[in-house]
A and B are shown apart, each in its own frame.
Chain A
């Protein structure tokens, strides 16, 4: 359970946790409350729930002024703010046990591998089954994170429900963290991938795709906020990002990211070129003197326009193709194909299935063993899988259906401890061999294999090759897209790709130009001059003032640059918090 509240006037999200720091649905059952501050100061706070206070009203505890109004000390803090922690009906009364930014006072037990299994935070196969790598991973985890896997996932995803897989790169002491964000029905609505380099204290935001743009910004903002809270706690120095889609070049600058020096040097040259081209049909003399650079689509001949289209189509082909591939992935077809393939190949040799049963046994508290049975589950993993079949079908081919596992009891003939010659006592039937695998065990196996099947299919889906027909339609989509652009946008696209040609000035015009001309008024206004001044600064933070300007979005649209957010830089963090940690006004 989570609530947005105010604590001492500061906005915060509080989560109600049990003694294992797992969220609870009922605040009355909470053993601990975690408050995550949303304002610029940031930080978090652990609070201990107090038993409900007596309801009797004690006037002496609520001093009033001479007009009968509560004084500052007498009213309920927060007044009518229903989200306030101090409001008596909102949440249990709480007592701070630490100050913001302090290490929580509870010393948690070190995480073990079984905690990841229990919390369903997946680890790469080597880390799961190679004891040496496992030991190193747990040391990095416990030295740096010291948090239960489920709690880490919750915080990292900003409280959003979702899955998490961690790939541990022991050489670089780096975690690759990826997974999906889910909606309330458990369907995937977004996909993410981040790297955390513990050695150099650098995090990278590699990949975040939403499957429906309508609610995407809310999910994206929450994920960014959660990521940043965790990076701050982990003492990361910086977060890297690559701005390379349409609005990103503008937006990341608004959020306080700054380009790397080489990116800035490239970007400011591009902005300067845009600024020095007059708008509204004016002409900018080209360096040769007898040509000029046009500033509108209409100034180009139809041959030049056709040339530009062909070149634009060539240069933007990959971008369109990638979009088709992503749309196809979003449709669930590759996931469906991967599930069908897994079901077709299912047998007792499948690593994912053997691993799932192994982890299931560990979860039951059995001693890990790859192929040995014990008293509790008297069949080997191989015996179990040999006696199972799986069916998979999804009528919509979206990959959302679960597989259906079933047991063939005739394959479960040799449980440990079964003696076919054993004599039965009169009136007591001996159990059949297959009855040694109880219904509870079968249900647990079904659950474990279903999860492993779906996880494996998701992982496989990423490597399913897109069908050839996706490429076949790209040229048509480009043509349709181009047809829908107006002349201004066509010119902008061409300009972005450096496709605007210099145009020769006709001879008669050249003669006219040779005549003495009256003095020209300055072409640039104060704002443009200021923008140019900013582009001439070597400081990449100059980009912020450009982005904040009225022309910022237009100038930075479709730009690509490598950026960084330095977590120790107050200016950068102030801008980041202004967008990502800003509490929306009620």
Chain B
């Protein structure tokens, strides 16, 4: 059984390719509540000194 030393969280293996995780994460992100997550990220950015204009520019 895998141990902590072999730390690989969320992945799959396909013959002939390196280990991958995109197909697992992309689905979760696509199904998520982007607005809610972005609101938290924006609040943090504001707290770190970014202006509303800069925050908006990040999304362009």
Give A residues with C-beta under 8 Å from B. 40, 165, 176, 178, 191, 193, 195, 204-214, 216-218, 220-221, 241-248, 250-251, 254-256, 316, 319-320, 322-327, 330, 459, 462, 477, 480-481, 525-527, 529-531, 533-534, 537, 539, 541-542, 544-545, 547-550, 571, 574-575, 577-580, 582, 584
Contact = CB atoms under 8 A, between A and B. Distances in A.
B38 to A, nearest CB: 5
Interface residues on B, range: 35 or more
A218 B54 contact: no
A319 B32 contact: no
Interface of B: 1-4, 6-29, 31-34, 36-38, 40-45, 48-50, 53-55, 57-60
Given A209-B13, A242-B7, A530-B55, A575 B37 contact: yes
Given A204-B4, A210-B12, A527-B57, A545 B44 contact: yes
Give the interface centre of B2, B14, B18 by most chain A CB atoms within 10 Å: B18
A577 to B, nearest CB: 8
Given A206-B7, A217-B27, A319-B19, A545 B58 contact: yes
A325 B48 CA distance: 44
B32 A246 contact: no
A531 B26 contact: no
Contacts of B33: 578-579, 582
A254 B4 contact: no
B44 A530 contact: no
A242 B41 CA distance: 21
Given A206-B2, A579-B29, A213 B37 contact: no
A211 to B, nearest CB: 7
A527 B3 CA distance: 41
Contact of A545 (B6, B36, B41, B60): B41
B34 to A, nearest CB: 8
A530 B18 CA distance: 33
A212 B9 CA distance: 15
Contact of A220 (B16, B22, B28, B42): B28
B31 A574 contact: no
A547 B57 contact: no
Contacts of A320: 17-18
A193 B45 CA distance: 34
B21 A248 contact: yes
Given A539-B44, A548-B59, A582-B36, 19 more contacts: A176-B3, A193-B4, A207-B7, A207-B9, A208-B8, A220-B10, A247-B26, A248-B9, A322-B13, A324-B15, A326-B13, A477-B15, A526-B57, A533-B49, A544-B44, A545-B48, A547-B41, A571-B40, A578-B33
Given A326-B19, A481-B16, A206 B60 contact: no
A496 B36 CA distance: 31
A24 B45 CA distance: 48
A325 B25 CA distance: 22
B3 A549 contact: no
Contacts of B54: 526-527, 529-530, 533
A322 B19 contact: yes
B58 A209 contact: no
Contacts, number: 221
29 contacts: A191-B2, A207-B6, A211-B12, A213-B14, A216-B23, A217-B24, A217-B31, A220-B28, A221-B28, A242-B7, A246-B21, A247-B26, A254-B37, A256-B40, A326-B19, A462-B1, A462-B2, A477-B17, A481-B16, A481-B17, A530-B55, A533-B54, A542-B45, A544-B40, A544-B45, A545-B42, A550-B58, A550-B60, A578-B36
Which of B28, B31, B41, B50 has most A Cβ within 10 Å? B41
Contacts of B40: 256, 544, 571, 574-575, 578
A477 B17 CA distance: 7
B37 to A, nearest CB: 4
A542 B47 CA distance: 10
A544 B41 contact: yes
A247 B25 contact: yes
Contacts of A575: 36-37, 40-41
Nearest to A545: B45
Nearest to A476: B16
Given A207-B2, A578-B36, A530 B57 contact: yes
A148 B58 CA distance: 49
A545 to B, nearest CB: 4
Contacts of A548: 37-38, 41-42, 58-59
A330 B13 contact: yes
Contacts of A191: 2
Given A549-B58, A550-B59, A578 B37 contact: yes
A288 to B, nearest CB: 33
B9 A217 contact: no
A323 B19 contact: yes
A178 B45 contact: no
Contacts of A542: 44-45, 48
Contacts of A176: 3-4
Nearest to A220: B24
B10 A208 contact: yes
Contacts of B23: 213-214, 216-217
Given A545-B42, A575-B37, A579-B29, A527 B22 contact: no
A217 B49 CA distance: 35
A162 B20 CA distance: 23
Contacts of B59: 548-550
Nearest to B48: A537
The list of the 7 closest CB pairs from A to B, nearest first, reads A217-B27, A326-B13, A251-B25, A579-B32, A530-B54, A545-B45, A549-B58
